[in-house]
Structure 1
Amino acid sequence: MSDSVKIEGLLGMLTVKLQDDNFVKWSYQFQSVLRGYDLFNYFIGESPCSPRFVIDTETCVTKEVIVAYKNWVKKDLALHSLLIVTLSDDVMEYVIGCKTSQEAWTCLQERFASIFVVRINQLKTEFYTSHKGGESVEKFMLKLKGIKDQLILAGEKVTENDYMIVVLSGLPVDFEMIKIVILTREIAMSLKDSIS
């Protein structure tokens, strides 16, 4: 299978389009798919471009273009195109003018880095301050699990123990006895089984 066919085949695996509010999810999917095919190194500069012209030891540089250079440019343009196809119209504005996949990736990273930090902080605040309120325990736990999964996806460390403590902290006084039993046990207990 040629590289161009392989790259075209990746399009069906990239189902998330980058918008202003989903960089973590998009980046995770994009990197996972491209790393799986050893192609992400183009985006982070670990697959440098070959010299353009053949060097003759007697006459120095010639006008003959190296085949490896042509192949690199072709592959990089295909990857750059693949990246562009995963962007929403609004986000595409940020990469217009970028000539390589690495340049486009760097622009997106710089654009979304501050938004990324703000989103992480919002998720952490919501995770650590949530309360059950009027929803069911199961719905409350699912909401917190969703936030935990997003934090982990963003590279934050959230253990099962952290999750358990956050869930227990967000439960009302009616669950005080269950909280005490779970928190004082020496052997780990399934949170879902003990609260259900």
Structure 2
Amino acid sequence: MSNSLQINTMSSPSISQVINVKLTQENYLLWSAQILPYLRSQGLVGFVDGSMPPPNQTITVESIWYPQDQLVLSLINSSVTEEVLSTVVGITTAREAWDMLERQFASTSRARAMQNHMELSTIQKKDMTIADYFRKVKRLGDTLAAIGKRVEDEELIAYMLQGLGLDYDPLVTSITTRTDVYTVSDVYAHMLSYEMRHLRNGTLEQFPFANNVNSMSNRGGTNGRRGGRGRQSNGGRGQTWHTRNNSGRQPSKAQSNSDKVCQICGKPNHDALQCWHRFDQAY
């Protein structure tokens, strides 16, 4: 066993080629998720999990165990930041260094993982583009997966749809009422296509302008459908879906049907709420 260990470690790639994220005070779970598979692949994980203890109570430089243990200790030390390295200064074995880092940072990293999950469950698109919004959702999901807290695709899609603005309600309804099984990539493609189509047709405002409208309208909230009376037609998150006010009365004569252009089909004399194609997924 000792000979095979020496051969593996001599032919193994540098730790810097395998571990891309160095240990900080906040990413212990992510760091350990990288370094443990590397140690297993080299037959060295026993030096940190206690399954390969020293042959006796006295560790000597001449023993076969000692150079292997020092190699693992060196790998650990080279994969942490300078700030963290001060935590293990003076420690002489890989197992002692590993235990020290675990006691120091594991609980903090678990709290960070919980925070990531909470952020994912409450994420909102707001004024982000669909591409930026998707990247943020995906990054949170990937971080949780890397530390062994993987979020299933169906749950990730639910979080992603939940955070969309009200102007995406027709798309959300279409996706959630279909019997087909969507992947995360499928949903992203639908959201991106929806955004491009409606920005092109002028039914979704450009985001910086929409923010200015929100701040000027002084409605006391970000929900465009629940805005006060007399609101702009492009209130909320840049949406132009509704032409009625909160009381449910028809618009004034200045906003007659002849002035309307449907946001879905592009034809005049009606709006999206009255369009025949409102829920027509094929259209």
Same fold (TM over 0.5): yes
TM-score (normalizing by structure 2): 0.59
* Alignment match, 2:18: 13
Match of 1:134 among 103, 127, 147: 127
Q: 1:135 to 1:42 in 2, by over 3 A?
A: same
Amino acid in structure 2 at the alignment position of 1:180: T
Amino acid in structure 2 at the alignment position of 1:38: G
Match of 1:188 among 181, 192, 198: 181
Greater relative contact order (CA < 8 Å, ≥ 6 in sequence): 1
- Which of the pair has more CA radius of gyration? 2
Q: 1:33 to 1:96 in 2, by over 3 A?
A: same
| 1:112-151 equivalent positions in 2, closer than 5 A | 112-151=105-144
* Alignment match, 2:269: none
Are 2:145 and 1:152 equivalent residues in the alignment? yes
Q: 1:8 to 1:127 in 2, by over 3 A?
A: closer
The question of whether the paired residues in 2 share the 8 Å contact of 1:7 and 1:78 is answered with: no
The question of whether the paired residues in 2 share the 8 Å contact of 1:52 and 1:66 is answered with: no
Amino acid in structure 2 at the alignment position of 1:171: L
Q: 1:7 to 1:96 in 2, by over 3 A?
A: farther
SS for the counterpart of 1:70 is coil
TM-score (normalizing by structure 1): 0.84
For 1:38 and 1:4, the matched residues in 2 are separated by 9
| 1:163-182 equivalent positions in 2, closer than 5 A | 163-182=156-175
Amino acid in structure 2 at the alignment position of 1:193: A
The question of whether the paired residues in 1 share the 8 Å contact of 2:88 and 2:97 is answered with: yes
Unaligned runs of 5+ in 1: 54-64
Q: 1:8 to 1:191 in 2, by over 3 A?
A: closer
The question of whether the paired residues in 1 share the 8 Å contact of 2:26 and 2:105 is answered with: no
* Alignment match, 2:30: 25
Moved more, 164-173 or 2-11: 2-11
For 2:172 and 2:162, the matched residues in 1 are separated by 8
Match of 1:93 among 86, 96, 99: 86
SS for the counterpart of 1:183 is helix
Q: Percent identity?
A: 25
CA RMSD, aligned part only?
2.4
Q: How many residues align?
A: 184
Q: 1:171 to 1:9 in 2, by over 3 A?
A: closer
1:12-52 Cα deviation digits (max 9, x unpaired) = 43343212233233222211222221212211111122236
Amino acid in structure 2 at the alignment position of 1:170: G
Amino acid in structure 2 at the alignment position of 1:5: M
For 1:46 and 1:157, the matched residues in 2 are separated by 28
Unaligned runs of 5+ in 2: 1-5, 193-283
The structural deviation recorded for 1:146 is 0.2
For 2:152 and 2:130, the matched residues in 1 are separated by 20
Q: 1:133 to 1:11 in 2, by over 3 A?
A: closer
The structural deviation recorded for 1:137 is 1.2
The structural deviation recorded for 1:8 is 7.4
For 2:109 and 2:37, the matched residues in 1 are separated by 18
The question of whether the paired residues in 1 share the 8 Å contact of 2:113 and 2:144 is answered with: yes
